[in-house]
């Protein structure tokens, strides 16, 4: 069995999209996944499966989550080795950009094509810049960006199905689960 990490998009953001981590774990197990763990209440799951197709894994989880919750829960998954490499790259990106105020990693369901990747990276402003690396896009925010702004560079709408985590959470998950 292979270990995978899953990231649920847009849950626990208000009264209508509540999905507590104990329920995420229960539904994931009921959907046939093994050794399920969760981390904090933002939709981070680790599980094992014999399924090999990322698309099939994501569809199975999304159907199970929707059936349980009554709303769509888009899910992005990575094999543990893929996520470990993504986390190592995020650490390198942080080291190459000292003095960041914030470093968020957008986790994408699908890679951006070359033109769109170039467009996203072209959104640099005095607030920071975006760096596209496969199915991860780094928001590198500089001191002085408007703290609390959800998407200060205006990139999120271009990324397709994505969710973000701060680099600290990415590193913690890689250390614990990969």
Same domain, 173 and 91: yes
Same domain, 32 and 59: yes
What residues pair up with 138 in beta bridges, in sequence order?
105, 131
Tell me how many domains the chain contains. 2
Confidence category of residue 16, pLDDT binned at 50, 70, 90:
confident
Instruction: Give me the pLDDT at residue 46, please.
Output: 98
Place of tokens 């199905």: 161
Same domain, 88 and 170: yes
Q: Which residue has the higher pLDDT, 30 or 15?
A: 30
pTM: 0.95
Q: Closest by alpha carbon to 1, among 33, 42, 39?
A: 33
pLDDT of 41 higher than 90:
no
pLDDT of 33 higher than 90:
yes
Which secondary-structure segment (H or E) carries 94?
helix 80-96
Same domain, 70 and 113: no
Q: State the residue range of the domain holding 24.
A: 2-79
Of 23, 48, 79, which one is at a domain's C-terminal end? 79
Give the whole-angstrom CA distance, residue 174 versus residue 88: 9
Mean local confidence (pLDDT), 156-161: 95
């Amino acid at each position: 069995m292979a270990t995978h990490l899953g990231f649920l998009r847009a849950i626990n953001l208000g009264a209508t999209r509540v999905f507590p981590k104990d329920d995420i774990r229960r539904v994931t197990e009921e959907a046939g996944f093994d050794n399920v763990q969760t981390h904090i209440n933002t939709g981070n799951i680790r599980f094992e499966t014999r399924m090999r197709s990322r698309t099939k894994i994501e569809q199975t989880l999304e159907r199970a989550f929707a059936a349980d919750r009554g709303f769509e829960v888009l899910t992005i998954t990575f094999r543990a080795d893929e996520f470990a490499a993504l986390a190592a790259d995020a650490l390198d990106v942080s080291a190459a950009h000292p003095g960041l105020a914030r470093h968020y990693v957008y986790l994408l369901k699908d890679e951006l094509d070359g033109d769109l990747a170039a467009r996203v990276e072209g959104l640099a402003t005095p607030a920071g810049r975006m760096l596209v690396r496969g199915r991860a896009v780094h928001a590198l925010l500089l001191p002085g960006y408007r703290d609390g702004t959800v998407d200060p560079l205006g990139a999120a709408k271009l990324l397709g199905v994505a969710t973000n985590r701060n680099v600290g959470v990415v590193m913690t998950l890689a250390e614990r689960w990969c």
